[in-house]
Amino acid sequence: MSWVPDLHDTAALTLPPAVVTDLEQLAEHVHNVWGSKRLADGWRYGPERSTAERTMPSLVPYADLPEDERDYDRELVTETVKMLLRLGYRVSRDPS
């Protein structure tokens, strides 16, 4: 079986300024949710990824991740919000 992901075109969409401002915090949250799940499942930090040992080098605070892994989380957040916009949602910040 050969799978080709069905990507929706979000290239023309731009993120609202409030999201751009908070993009780093959103990306950190995504990493923390992922890490919490892994830790709860018995994974722990290790210098190399090992399924047998349940170790993973990415189980560190977001600030300690290599830039390419932080970019991955930023892209995930960016594309998720863009898809919400494509589906017709509006994103705005509550002024209070």
27-31, 40-44, 48-52, 92-96: lowest mean pLDDT where? 92-96
Q: What is the pLDDT of residues 43-87, one digit of tens each?
A: 999 999 999 999 999 999 999 999 999 999 999 999 999 999 999
| pLDDT score of 1 more than 90 | no
pLDDT at 91: 86
Domain 26-86, classified CATH 1.10.490.160, yes or no:
yes
Q: Distance between CA atoms of 84 and 74, rounded to whole angstroms?
A: 16
pTM for this predicted structure:
0.88
| pLDDT score of 93 more than 90 | no
* Torsion angle (degrees, nearest 10) of CA 33, 39, 41, 47: 120
Q: Where are the domains of the chain?
A: 26-86
